[in-house]
Amino acid sequence: MKTAPVTSPIAAAAVPPWRPTRGLVVASGLVVIAVIWFAIGLVRDTPPVLGWLPLLISVPIAVVASWRAAGGGRTLWRYVSAGILLIGLGAVLNGFDYLSGRQQGQHISGLTAAVYTSGLVAILLGLLRIPGARRSRIEWLRFGLDIATVIVTVLTLCWHLVYHRWESWLSDSVSGAVTVLIVVVAGFICVFAFVKVAFTGTGPIDRRALHLLVLTGAVGAGGGALAPLVASRPYLNTAHVLLPAVSLCVCLAADRQLRAARAGRPAPRPLSRRPSVMPYAAVVATGGLLLYSTVRHTADLVAIAVGAVTVTLLVAARQLVALRDNALLLEDLDARQRELAHQATHDALTGLPNRTVLVREITAALAADPAAVSVALIDLDDFKEINDDLGHAVGDALLIAVADRIAAQLSAGAMVARLGGDEYALLLRHGDHDASLKTIAAQLSRPVHAAGHDLVVEASFGLAPARADDTADELLRRADVAMYEAKGQGKGRRVAYTAEMDQRTAEQSRLAADLRAALDTDQLRLLYQPIVSMPGGELYGVEALVRWTHPERGPISPGAFIPIAERTGQIVPLGAWILEQACRQAATWLDELGDAAPRTVTVNVSARQLREAGFAGEVDAVLRRTGLPPHVLTVEVTETAVFDGGAALAELRAIAALGVSIALDDFGTGHSSLGLLRSCPADILKVDKSFIDDITEGGQHAVVVAALIGICDGLRLRAVAEGVETAEQAAELHRLGYRFAQGFHFARPMPADAIAAYRPPVVSRMAAI
């Protein structure tokens, strides 16, 4: 599977431009001196002691540079520092052996070889300690097989390269074989570094710095392999050039690490999921070498064949592991698909079928025997109060318990579905349907244990028996009408649908139609209720309130037509009209009144509007059309509109991002309000009138109002007290710390042209004295 290109973490962090340090300059100069001296030695005899001097200086420089780079969890550099120090110590021993006559030419003693090798092992241990991305057991098994493949391939190739010289080196001295071993280890470190980084990432190590370290190993391995070329010149040693060069590479890598660290740690680079070609390259390499050895009939043919077969078996094992991994992924995918299919047809909270399944089952039942079919809707009474008083977790537990009780009472062929919120739907087949509802109601009236609470639940039932040629949607509609009739009659009622209910529904439909016409015929108007600052009652802002004067029925209360607009979806165009008119009027006030204009205009937005995709974009478009600065507009919502989060809360956050203020209406009436402050981008809290009414009498309401102003002050929110009707209430609110209020004590809703003439009531000023 291919992945999108990623930006290198080095590019993500601005690494300072490179400026050579004093250590780098000295290390570079020592490399130049060593190369020149070595070149002279190739054409004429040179004093051997001078060849060892540059490395005695370059190695300490590399040790200090790598130690300085070891910070911020970069443990690798401590190992590099120790490894270079050991390699330098090995070089000192090597030089001492040669100058004292104990060893000749490229030969080294067993102690020197051990010290050299320990330095390389220290660097290898550092590479192993690089922290990388977390991997599964199967991925680590593949990694182990890849490493084994690399080891076998490298050893096979090295064996072929050194086989013909092995006897001559071994007959001369054991040191020749040890030299080959050191070269192989250095080369293995280079290969291992590439494999390690490709599989696990570099962690806190700068990627380019690690590449320079790999170059260090390549320089050491490549130079060590050239040792036999100068065997005829005993006064020369490849270490004269290799160690200064290796030290320079280490200094460059450490310098790169330090510069990257100063620029800040870059974002981790995502690991590629592309298939690895390394195992197959290993098969090709060993297979090609086997063919070559077969054609040339080389003496090491058997060893190469063993290596090629081993590599092939390792790659085959890796392939089997990959197939097993793919099988597990397919199983996970199949399980996920089944889970998604279940989620698409079932309610996430209760596990009951959703509306899609219900409609399908009703349609099938109507096709089989419509006379035996009824649909009932069940709505829990006062569920909102349970949610508000005890919290959302208790409400969820109650919904689950109710679903279980209903399902336990169903007869054969019946089913229960959850339509959302606290509403359930029943498909009833055969038997006495009203008796079935009575049984379910009796079971629900027993105390329900939910999240540590024993709750008594009442529910409203609406029953709709099927008729000829009914559809599932029609049955659900009639059951909904009956259920609302039951709720209108009181709690715990069961009502069967009758034609008279449709008459009332028709009346509501006519009112809904008249409301649509009202939007087009200027029957609607906006009034504005002042929001004042206390104690003086000066105008601070206004709240836009819609009013409807019907040409035949006269004034219609918002309490009558707003619920109809909510149920029919007309609240969306109605809310859009209110928003447009209020913003246009606010812009006019700014032009005409200047600093005397209301500082903010509040517009109520319904939950239905917030659920409309792109509502925040509509708010932005209105602000642009009317020229109203975003900070003047305040969008007011109830806590229930955003209680469940989701799309509504996302739209509200997008509106806040425009610079528009957000107000939570009726704050304090629900238990969930404090939790909303963590997720809802509220700027203003409007304290419900029910708390204000009895504030002058003390008691619990006064305590709540005082607590809310403390919360607002702590969270830097503006509190607005609603429904202030007396001077005593205003004075007490001001004493508690409230600075903004609205209510009949200050002003009733008024036309737009009356705002300019608004003056604080005299009684308000007297209360402040």
**Cα 428 → chain centroid:** 44
Q: What does the alpha-carbon distance between residue 536 and residue 45 come to, in Å, rounded to a whole number? A: 105
Which of 117-131, 132-146, 185-199 has the lowest average pLDDT? 185-199
Residue 261 has pLDDT above 60, yes or no: yes
Which of residues 11 and 691 earns the better pLDDT score? 691
Q: Which helix (H) or strand (E) holds 769?
A: none
The pLDDT value recorded for residue 702 is: 80
Which of 475-479, 520-524, 622-626 has the lowest average pLDDT? 520-524
Residue 583 has pLDDT above 90, yes or no: yes
Residue 580 DSSP symbol: H
Average pLDDT of the residues in 423-435: 89
Which of 199-208, 426-435, 553-562, 743-752 has the lowest average pLDDT? 199-208
Secondary structure of 654-700 in HEC code, one letter for each residue: HHHHCCCEEEEEEECCCCCHHHHHHHCCCCEEEECHHHHCCHHHCHH
Contacts of 246 (CB under 8 A, 6+ apart): 62, 84, 87, 216, 219, 220
Q: What does the alpha-carbon distance between residue 522 and residue 752 come to, in Å, rounded to a whole number? A: 16
Which of 13-17, 349-353, 445-449, 451-455 has the lowest average pLDDT? 13-17
Confidence of residue 648 (pLDDT cuts 50, 70, 90): confident
pTM as predicted: 0.46
The pLDDT value recorded for residue 288 is: 80
Average pLDDT of the residues in 490-508: 82
Residue 225 has pLDDT above 60, yes or no: no
> What percentage of the chain exceeds 70 in pLDDT?
80
**Cα 540 → chain centroid:** 40
- In this structure, the chain runs to a length of 769
CB atoms within 10 A of CB 230: 18
The pLDDT value recorded for residue 765 is: 43
C-alpha distances (whole Å) from 118 to each of 85, 124, 385, 542, 744 are 10, 10, 74, 81, 89
Average pLDDT of the residues in 108-123: 77
Which of 70-84, 103-117, 558-572 reaches the highest mean pLDDT?
558-572
Q: What does the alpha-carbon distance between residue 527 and residue 133 come to, in Å, rounded to a whole number? A: 62
Q: What does the alpha-carbon distance between residue 77 and residue 431 come to, in Å, rounded to a whole number? A: 82
In the chain the first and final C-alpha atoms are separated, in Å, by 77
The pLDDT value recorded for residue 13 is: 44
The pLDDT value recorded for residue 81 is: 86
Q: What does the alpha-carbon distance between residue 134 and residue 143 come to, in Å, rounded to a whole number? A: 13
Residue 113 has pLDDT above 60, yes or no: yes
> What percentage of the chain exceeds 90 in pLDDT?
25
Confidence of residue 400 (pLDDT cuts 50, 70, 90): very high
Specify whether the CB–CB gap between 519 and 573 falls below 8 A: yes
Specify whether the CB–CB gap between 239 and 94 falls below 8 A: yes
